[in-house]
A and B are shown apart, each in its own frame.
Chain A
Amino acid sequence: MPVDEQPLLEVENLEKTFVTKRRGGEHRTVAADRVSLAVRAGGALGVVGESGSGKTTLVNMIMGLERPDAGEIRFRGRSLTARGARFPYGEIQIVFQDPRSSLDPRMTVRSLLREPLTNLPRAQRDELGSEDKLRELAGRVGLLPGQLDRRSHEFSGGQRQRIAIARALVTRPALVVLDEPTSALDVSIQAQILNLLRELQRDYQLTYVFVSHNLAVVRHLCSEVAVLAAGRVVEAGSTAEVFAEPRDGYTKTLLAAAPSLG
Chain B
Amino acid sequence: MPDNTLALDVQDLSLSFQSRTGRIPVLRNVSIDIEPGEIVGLVGESGSGKSVMSLQVARLLPEDAVVVESGDVTVNGISTRAATRRQMTRLRGSEIGFIFQEPMTALSPTMTVGKQLGLAIRRHRGGSRAEVRRQAIAALDEVRIKNPDVVVDQYPFELSGGMRQRVVIALAMVGNPSLLIADEPTTALDVTVQDEILKLIRQLAQDHGMSVLFVSHDLAVVSNLCQRVFVLYAGEIIERGATRQIIDAPAHPYTQALVGALPRLDEARELNPIPGEPPDPRAVEDGCVFAPRCPHRFEPCDLKPPTLDLEAGHRAACWLHAREEAHDAR
A contact residues vs B (CB 8 Å cutoff):
50-51, 156-158, 186-192, 194-195, 213-217, 219-221, 239-240, 243, 253-262
Contact = CB atoms under 8 A, between A and B. Distances in A.
B190 A51 contact: yes
A156 B277 contact: yes
Contact of A215 (B193, B218, B259, B265): B265
Contacts of B262: 187, 191, 216, 261
B51 to A, nearest CB: 13
Interface string B175-195: 000000000000000111111
B299 interface: no
A223 to B, nearest CB: 9
Nearest to B267: A219
Given A187-B217, A191-B274, 13 more contacts: A50-B190, A158-B277, A187-B261, A188-B261, A192-B274, A194-B263, A195-B273, A217-B263, A219-B264, A219-B265, A257-B192, A260-B266, A261-B220
Give chain A's interface secondary structure class.
helix
Contacts of A257: 191-192, 194-196
Interface in B180-231: 190-196, 217-221, 223-224
B195 A256 contact: yes
B277 A259 contact: no
B46 interface: yes
A155 to B, nearest CB: 11
A259 B218 contact: yes
A259 B217 CA distance: 13
B263 A253 contact: no
B260 to A, nearest CB: 8
Contacts of B196: 257
Given A158-B277, A191-B272, A216 B263 contact: yes
Contacts of A262: 223, 247-248
Contact of B273 (A188, A216, A256): A188
Contacts of A220: 263-264, 268-269, 271
Contact of B192 (A194, A221, A253): A253
B257 interface: yes
Contacts of B217: 186-187
A188 B257 contact: yes
Contact of A187 (B191, B219, B265): B219
A199 B265 CA distance: 21
Contacts of B258: 187-188
Interface of B: 45-46, 161, 190-196, 217-221, 223-224, 247-248, 257-259, 261-269, 271-275, 277
Contact of A261 (B190, B247, B275): B247
Given A50-B192, A188-B257, A254-B191, A261 B277 contact: no
A190 B220 CA distance: 14
16 contacts: A51-B190, A157-B46, A186-B46, A187-B217, A187-B258, A191-B263, A214-B191, A216-B265, A219-B266, A220-B263, A220-B271, A257-B191, A258-B191, A260-B224, A261-B247, A261-B262
Contacts of B219: 187, 261
B247 to A, nearest CB: 5
Across the A-B interface, the 7 shortest Cβ-Cβ residue pairs: A257-B195, A191-B273, A191-B261, A220-B263, A50-B190, A186-B45, A259-B220
A54 B208 CA distance: 40
Contacts of B195: 256-257, 259
By CB atoms of chain A within 10 A, which of B190, B195, B265 has the most?
Answer: B265
Contacts of B193: 50
Nearest to A222: B268
By CB atoms of chain B within 10 A, which of A157, A214, A215, A220 has the most?
Answer: A220
A51 B160 CA distance: 11
Nearest to A255: B265
B215 to A, nearest CB: 14
B263 A192 contact: no
A259 B248 contact: no
A191 B271 contact: yes
A14 B195 CA distance: 31
A157 B278 CA distance: 12
A13 to B, nearest CB: 26
Contacts of B265: 215-216, 219, 243, 255, 258, 260
A239 B193 CA distance: 23
Contacts of B266: 219, 243, 260
Contacts of B267: 219
